[in-house]
Amino acid sequence: MILYTILKFLVKIGIRVFFRKIVVHGWENRPSEGPLIIAVNHPNTLMDPLLVAVMMKQRVGFLANASLFANKLVNQLFAILHTIPVYRKQDVAPGEPIDNDETFGKVYEYLDKNGTIMIFPEGTSFSEMKLRKIKTGTARIALGYEKQQQFQRNTQILTVALNYSEPTRFRSKVEITFNPPIPISEYQEKYAQDDFQTVRELTDRIRHELAEDLIITEDKDQEELLKRINTIYKEFLTQKLSLSRDSAIEFTILKELANGMRFLKGKDEGLYLQIEKETNEYFDLLETHELNDHMITSQGIRKLTIVRKFFNVISLFLFFPLYFLGVITNYLPYWLPARIAGAITDEIEYRAPIMMVSGIFLFPLFYLVETLLFHHFLALHPWHTLGFVLLLPISGFMALGYMDNLTWFTHRLKMEIAALQNPELIQQLVAEKGEILEMLESVRRIYEER
């Protein structure tokens, strides 16, 4: 238990550093004890269980694909984390039957101790805005266990939906939604009458609850189109409807845009294809000339005032020493996790958790070595060493902010230069963006009146 607590503490720090913003809905819906089954969608492999587990008050066990139990070291770690293997078709030899009786038995034992177990009912993990087919295992475990206990244990299923802004990107955003728990006792009579149909009904309820909270697209092309429409439309919609600019609203807008796109494709595929064509042409033109959509308005481009340019240059100059310190002290532990993830796997779904776990160990290690070197060669007083230790993470975040500001400033200057050198291009982009926004507004009105 002590080791689990330590690991949970380290992972919590790693998650807070990895993500720029974590938006959580339904804190009050989290039971503090079991027997509880947590059913979560699965877009980001190992990151998904880590994220949800650190948000729970109690210890959480896991069901994981049997293929992950590859060697003794991994098995020992999984034992510490209370991880139980579950077998799928791809985990057994061709023609060999799938036997999860032992798995169900271990889960029942875990629930008997008022345990909390996390299950991913999709069965596999893919980095996409989609809810794949929900398997019946979660419902069968919950109902089977309650039947074994004469429906006296008050077992619940907690559905949890995860939405990532960019699953593999450092300093991205994630939204977590905890729904009200589902009491399995509600299904006692139905299960006694028709166990098969009751399993299907409970599985459908799990699917419906997850789908209600997720950003869902039909395929990768629609997912890419959604991201582009969100880029072009989010700020316009926020201003028009006087919405706040927090991360929760960003995810809400993205969900509604995804719902509206699927609605439009079913109602008027011709208009959908026209929006898709013009949006892609607009962004292709931006990318060709290395320009940024955020700087284009219906009136033209946003120009920086002379005063704003002056203060940007001054701030970049003044903060350069701190940026330089941040780079030389943080670059290697920042750079290495991505290289380690790339060396370990080509699967994009595994990159974020590998990067985060690597960073949890690499950053403290590099900070320790750098502090010892500073103390030995440069420190004139112990307080200098303490100040250096405090500066290490601060300068790292400052370096990231500095680069973001420098990138933003250079993009603004590049846009103003393009406007001077090629005003026809800017006029074309403004006109195309205006046409797209008009079409999106017409779709929004249709969608709201549906």
pLDDT per residue over 374-393, tens digit each?
999 998 889 999 999 999 99
pLDDT of residue 69: 63
Query: Does residue 15 register a pLDDT over 70?
Result: yes
pLDDT at 242: 79
Contact assessment for residue 156 and residue 184, using Cβ atoms and an 8 Å cutoff: yes
Strand partners, 356: none
Phi first, then psi, for residue 158 (nearest 5°) are -105, 110
Beta-sheet strands, E only, within 112-170: 116-119, 156-164
Question: Looking at residues 416-434, what average pLDDT do you find?
Answer: 91
**Mean pLDDT (whole number) for 189-203:** 97
pLDDT band for position 92 (cuts 50, 70, 90): low
The confidence score (pLDDT) of residue 88 equals 62
Strands (E) across 106-201 are located at: 116-119, 156-164, 172-178, 182-183
Q: What's the CA gap between 212 and 24, in Å, rounded? A: 15
Average pLDDT over residues 126-132: 90
For residue 395, give both structure tokens. 């300068």
Which of 45-49, 247-251, 261-265, 298-302 has the least mean pLDDT? 298-302
Residue 259 has pLDDT above 90, yes or no: yes
Residue 169 is predicted with a pLDDT of 86
The answer to whether 167 and 13 have CB atoms below 8 angstroms apart is: no
- Both tokens of residue 399? 């370096």
Neighbours of 244 (CB within 10 A): 9
Alpha-carbon distance 33 to 247, whole Å? 30
The confidence band for 89, taking pLDDT boundaries of 50, 70 and 90, is: low
Instruction: Indicate if the pLDDT at residue 449 is higher than 70.
Output: yes
**Cross-strand pairs, 85:** 64
Angstrom distance (rounded) from CA 184 to CA 89: 28
Are 271 and 389 in contact, with CB atoms under 8 Å apart?
Answer: no
Q: Which of 5-14, 52-61, 130-139, 200-209 has the lowest mean pLDDT?
A: 5-14
How sure is the predictor about 418, in pLDDT bands with cuts at 50, 70 and 90?
confident
The model's confidence at residue 90, banded by pLDDT at 50, 70 and 90, is low
CA atoms within 13 A on the CB side of 252: 12
Q: In the chain, what are the domain boundaries?
A: 2-213, 220-289+429-448, 306-421
The 10 Å CB-count burial string (b at 16+, else e) for 23-39 is beebeeebbeebbbbbb
Give me the pLDDT at residue 247, please.
75
Rounded Cα gap, residues 418 and 2, in angstroms? 59
Measured distance CA(281)–CA(288) in Å, rounded: 10
Q: Tell me the three state secondary structure of residue 123.
A: coil
Residues 228 and 412 sit within 8 Å (Cβ to Cβ): no
Q: What pLDDT is stored for residue 248 in this prediction?
A: 82
Q: Which residue has the higher pLDDT, 373 or 239?
A: 373
d(C-alpha 74, C-alpha 116), whole Å? 21
Handedness of CA 390, 393, 397, 402 (dihedral sign): positive
Which residues does 3 contact at the CB level (< 8 Å), separation at least 6? Answer: 80
User: Nearest CA to 63 among 95, 43, 80, 38?
Assistant: 38
Predicted confidence (pLDDT) per residue in 135-172, tens digit: 999 999 999 999 999 999 999 999 999 999 998 888 89
Mean per-residue pLDDT of the chain? 90
pLDDT confidence band for 99 (50 / 70 / 90): low
CATH topology for 2-213?
Glycerol-3-phosphate (1)-acyltransferase (3.40.1130)
Q: Is the pLDDT of residue 320 over 90?
A: yes
What are phi and psi for residue 114, nearest 5 degrees?
A: 60, 30
The continuous run of DSSP H or E covering 25 comes out as strand 19-25
What was the pLDDT predicted at 202? 98
- CA-to-CA distance for 205 and 210, rounded, in angstroms? 9
pLDDT band at 98 (very low <50, low <70, confident <90, very high): low
Please tell me the predicted confidence (pLDDT) of residue 264: 94
Confidence grade of residue 68 (pLDDT, cut at 50, 70, 90):
low
Q: What 8-state DSSP symbol labels residue 154?
A: -
Is it the case that residue 101 has pLDDT exceeding 80? no
pLDDT for the residue 12: 93
Alpha helices in 149-246 (DSSP H): 188-193, 195-213, 220-240
* Rounded mean pLDDT, 197-226: 96
> Closest Cα partner for 185 from 207, 208, 209, 152?
152
Determine the Cα angle at 23 with ends 230 and 350, to 5°. 80
Q: Identify which of 225, 215, 235, 222 has the alpha carbon closest to the alpha carbon of residue 164.
A: 215
Residue-level pLDDT at 75: 65
Report the 10 Å Cβ neighbour count for 330.
Answer: 22
Say if residue 396's pLDDT is above 80: yes
* % of residues, the chain, pLDDT over 90: 68
